[in-house]
Each structure stands twice: as structure tokens, then as C-alpha cells.
Amino acid sequence: MKTAFISHPDTLLHVMDGNHPESPARISAIKQAVMASALQNQLLYADAPMADKTALLRVHRAEYVDYIFDIAPKAGLVRLDVDTAMGPMSLAATLHATGAVIHATDLVMKGSVDNAFCCIRPPGHHAGRANSAGFCIFNHVAAGVAYALEQYPLTRAAIIDFDVHHGDGTEDIIKDNPNVLFCSTFQHPFYPYKGTESTSNHLLNIPLAAKSDGATFRHLFETIYKPALDDFKPEIIFISAGFDAHINDPLADLALTKDDYIWMTAFIKKIAKKYANNRIISSLEGGYHLPSLAESALAHIQTLTN
Ligand SMILES: [Zn+2]
């Protein structure tokens, strides 16, 4: 498989409070792991362009997009919500992050690569139609899905969100769109305390008790996601790739390991091979234990290239 690795230097320049866990070091840790591995020479590297307002307006309300552009500071920090702040480079970083997923969609749809990993921040899956939340400003994966369905002759996109937190922003954006199958596993009860009451035939929310491990994930993927994906037959698959369900993650309490990320990636690849001409676009969400984040993301990318 040919895999693209898409990032941008500006993703390192979005800095919130001094010790914020969603830090530039997360991107550096993944890049260093890739550069030190045999993958280094196998990936197609691309710089993420900035998303334009058209890309944002497919998934966000115009007033919210304007609000973010207006509030972005020239100096200092402005707080958007209890968990999310913007500094002078945050707008550029989040626009490059959305742009990465859009560019990945083009590379995959045009056949330049089979799949892609977007090594970007801030993450996106908590950003709803008209709100920031949980370190997220704009929703990159939702924007990529909307772009793919509008620009290409596709009618069915799946999103698999294995971040430890429920992708509530993504659900807010796609909940009335039957062309999108949203599969989200998350620790519950836990931030953002949503997702347990909203299961439908295209919203497959799976709340998991603290301490749930890889065996539980694999069983649920096989018994709930597989039949639903076989029924839906996605023509393209997006992954909200959070690595904060790792057993070492300091923010959460699930118990995945590197091998579980390899297994889940291979599972998604099998579905993509069957229905989606191998098309997978994966975008970084959470993951806050730097060595485990780097190791898990590397294993995920390695599995995408196999
Ligand atoms: Zn998360």
C-alpha cells in the first residue's frame, strides 16, 4: 500500500497554557518515531494546505466560523471554552489541520496513494457545528467527509472514532446525514458525557466501562461494527485516530496496547479493501502519553502501509 503522511510546521506553533497536555510535543514524538523507523523512506510526505472557508462552512455555522476568525488573537491567549484556547498561531494550525484531511481525501480519491495519515493538531472531533470543545476548534474529519461526498461520486462514508472520548462534535455535525455511518467507542461515564442516548442505524455509539481492554474492543468491532459496515458498504473510510485509550494514557482509563491499534487498523483495512477500493483517511485526535502515542501511531501507520 502507498500511504501519505500529511502535516505542517504550523501544527507545532499552536500552544495553549504552559503544561497543557495537548501540546506540540505530541506531533514531534510521532514524527521522530516515523523518522527513526523503516517507514521513513516508504511514505509520501505532503505539506497540508490551509482549508478555505468553503471547507469549514460545509460543517460549521457561518457565525461560528466568523467568530473564530475574529477572536483569533495577534498576541497572548484567548479562551474559547474551559479546555480550549487560541494563541497567535492557533488559527493557522487548525486551518492546516482541516486542510490536511481535505488534501488527504484528494490524494486518496485521485489514486496517488491508497491511504493517508494526517499528523495534525489541534484535534477536531469535539468541535460541533457551532462550538469549540475539548481542545478542538474545527472538525477536520467531518469537513473531510463532507468534502468527499460533495466533490467525488461517493454516497457512503464511514467514520471510525477509536479515541477514548466520544466524538460528540462529529455526531452533532453528521447525526441527520444517513450517508455517513459513525462508529464511536468511548469510555463512559467520562468527558464529554454524551453519546449514550443517541444510537441509530447510522450512529453506532459504544460506551465502555473504565478498564475495558483490547479483548473487549475486538469483540465489539467484530460483533457490532463488522455487520453494520458490511450492511452499509462504505465507499471511503475516515478514522478519528485518538490514541488516548492506551493503557498508559494519563487522561483516561481504558487499557488498549499497541497491538490493539494494529488489530483495529487491520480490521478497518479489511473493510476498506472489500468496499472502498482501500480508501482510508486517518486523522490524529487525542493521545497524551508521549512514548505510547508515538509507538501506537507508528504501529497504526505501519499497518496502513502493509
Ligand atoms: Zn480523546
Measured in Å, residue 244 CA sits from the centre of ligand 1 at 6
Measured in Å, residue 112 CA sits from the centre of ligand 1 at 30
Look at the block and give the residue holding cell 447510522. 202
Give the residue from 106, 160, 161, 166 showing the smallest Cα distance to 134: 166
What is the separation of C-alpha 90 from the centre of its chain, rounded to a whole number of angstroms?
A: 18
Measured in Å, residue 97 CA sits from the centre of ligand 1 at 16
What pLDDT is attached to residue 195?
94
Q: Which residues contact 132 (CB under 8 A, 6 or more apart)?
A: 68, 80, 81, 84, 126
What 3-state class would DSSP assign to 301?
helix
CATH of domain 3-305: 3.40.800.20
- The Cα 46–Cα 17 span in angstroms is 29
Asked if 155 and 233 count as a contact pair (C-beta separation under 8 A), the reply is: no
**Preceding omega of 122 cis (within 30 degrees of 0):** yes
Measured in Å, residue 5 CA sits from the centre of ligand 1 at 21
- The Cα 59–Cα 126 span in angstroms is 13
Intervals of the chain under pLDDT 50: none
What pLDDT is attached to residue 197?
87
- Cα–Cα distances (Å) from 154 to 184, 266, 291, in that order, read 22, 23, 38
Q: Which residues contact 63 (CB under 8 A, 6 or more apart)?
A: 130
Measured in Å, residue 164 CA sits from the centre of ligand 1 at 5
The cell numbers describing 274, all together, are 472489500
Measured in Å, residue 190 CA sits from the centre of ligand 1 at 10
The cell numbers describing 269, all together, are 483495512
Give the residue from 295, 285, 292 showing the smallest Cα distance to 117: 285
Give the residue from 202, 21, 200 showing the smallest Cα distance to 122: 21
Residues labelled catalytic: 126
Q: So where are the chain's domains?
A: 3-305
Measured in Å, residue 180 CA sits from the centre of ligand 1 at 21
Measured in Å, residue 111 CA sits from the centre of ligand 1 at 31
* DSSP 8-state assignment for residue 63: H
- The Cα 199–Cα 157 span in angstroms is 17
Measured in Å, residue 153 CA sits from the centre of ligand 1 at 32
What pLDDT is attached to residue 120?
98
